[in-house]
Amino acid sequence: MPQEVLTEAAAEMVDWHGSGMSVMEMSHRGKEFISIYEQAQLDLRELLAVPDNFKILFMQGGGLAENAIVPLNLSSRRLSADATGSADFVVTGSWSQKSQQEARKYCSVNIAASNETDGRTSLPDPASWQLTPGASYVHICSNETIDGVEYHTLPDLRSLGSEAPLVVDCSSHVASRPVNWSHVGLAFAGAQKNLGPAGLTLVVVREDLLGHAMSVCPSAFNYKTVADNQSMFNTPPTYAIYIAGLVFQWLKRQGGIPVMEARNQAKATLLYNAIDHSQLYFNKVASSCRSRMNVPFFLRDESLNDAFLAGARAHGLLQLKGHKSVGGMRASIYNAMPIEGVQALVNYLHEFEKRRS
Ligand SMILES: Cc1ncc(COP(=O)(O)O)c(C=O)c1O
């Protein structure tokens, strides 16, 4: 979270803009909250340059719930609401792997491509994807948070001869770079990396994909129902929407998404350069698809891991332990992390290596 946003939220927590209420105490149908909601929608549409034929939905359930909600809404879209459809998945890391597993409960799944054989360190060339004719959609995770693999451009399915909409799990790099919406049918993101607190899930969906849900789809997760009710079919996560709205305004004050992209590029380059030029640390991901948000790295001598983490903590450098499924270290350098924070990590990397050599 940007420090400025936390300070602002703290100052108005008890009494929002003289309303005599905390945002947490407002009715979601009252004029105060509606103004917060509408501003957040407008700001996000402007920031991400979301075209008019896409709806912005503020939902709940996080990225993992979307792994079920997407097939419940899209997999039967060319069939009857009780029929079982099919979807293609490109599996490039832990999160797309989870997505395809969950989708199997609702539709038949084809793995169009995978990077498993190279240890999740590259992205399969879209020209090599085995797409299924007639698949309801094609799912990718555009930034694999655990493995540190990121698409730097979104694939154009039409140029691959497919009419299927592209579904993108962009949970961990949303708002870090511009989006080419002409390649996207639906994008979803849990808020908790770049948008605000956990509890809010962003869905941006092309209008023609609404209204095709399976009959078993829960009403609160039916995209058309959510869209028709301006994300208020059920009570939305009001406080999380409010904080996300403050983050959107902060992003606008920074200069918008192109400025964030340039900053994120500079931060990632600084850190990858330090890792690549050291004798102690290494990163396994091909340089063409290294994540700008999540930088996993390993110590060549793993017996130093605990000492590395303890020293980092002493320098105020927190949460550097890699995900338990891959080990090693991981620096998550989301939008709110200033370049000074990355520089502090780089200084520590140098210092720790020097001490050990
Ligand atoms: C890319 C990606 N997808 C999905 C998820 C799961 O999100 P949630 O925990 O909000 O369900 C995460 C969480 O880190 C993620 O990074």
Of the listed 43, 88, 129, 193, which one is catalytic?
193
- Decide: 187 in ligand 1 pocket, CB within 6 A: no
Residue whose entry in the numeric block shows the structure tokens 């995209």? 223
How close is the Cα of 311 to the center of ligand 1, in Å? 29
Residue from 67, 142, 144, 145 whose mutation best tests the ligand 1 pocket (most atoms within 8 A of CB): 145
Claim: this prediction has a pTM higher than 0.85: yes
Using 50, 70 and 90 to split pLDDT, how confident is the model at 325?
Answer: very high
Please write the tens of the pLDDT for every residue from 239-290.
999 999 999 999 999 999 999 999 999 999 999 999 999 999 999 999 999 9
Residue whose CA lies nearest to ligand 1 atom number 2: 171
**Is it true that domain 3-254 has CATH number 3.40.640.10?**
yes
Catalytic residue among 169, 224, 267, 284: 169
Alpha helices (runs of H) in the chain, residue ranges in sequence order: 3-11, 31-48, 62-74, 94-103, 223-228, 238-254, 257-276, 305-314, 339-356
Domain pair 3-254 / 257-356, same fold: no
Q: Which residues are CB-contacts of 207 (< 8 A; sequence separation ≥ 6)?
A: 53, 54, 55
CA–CA dist 203, 138 (Å, integer): 16
How does pLDDT run across 112-123, given as a tens digit for each residue?
999 999 999 999
For ligand 1, mutation pick of 90, 94, 95 (most atoms within 8 Å of CB) = 95
Instruction: Please work out whether the CB of residue 148 comes within 6 Å of at least one atom of ligand 1.
Output: no
Mean pLDDT along residues 77-84: 87
- Label each residue of 16-63 as H, E or C: HHHCCCCHHHCCCCCHHHHHHHHHHHHHHHHHHCCCCCEEEEEECCHH
156 is catalytic: no
Q: pLDDT, tens digit, for every residue of 141-172? A: 999 999 999 999 999 999 999 999 999 999 99
pLDDT single digits (tens) 164-215: 999 999 999 999 999 999 999 999 999 999 999 999 999 999 999 999 999 9
Taking only the tens place, the pLDDT of each residue in 95-136 is 999 999 999 999 999 999 999 999 999 999 999 999 999 999
* Residue 265 φ then ψ, to 5°: -65, -45
Phi, psi of 54 (to 5 degrees): -120, 140
- Find where tokens 């912005």 sit: 56
Report whether 293 contacts 267 (CB < 8 A): no
Domain chopping of the chain, boundaries = 3-254, 257-356
* pLDDT classification of 357: cutoffs 50, 70, 90: confident
Q: Considering the chain, what percentage of its residues have pLDDT values greater than 70?
A: 100
The CATH label, of 3.90.550.10, 3.40.50.300, 3.90.1150.10, 3.30.465.10, for the domain at 257-356 is 3.90.1150.10
From the alpha carbon of 144, which atom of ligand 1 is closest? 1
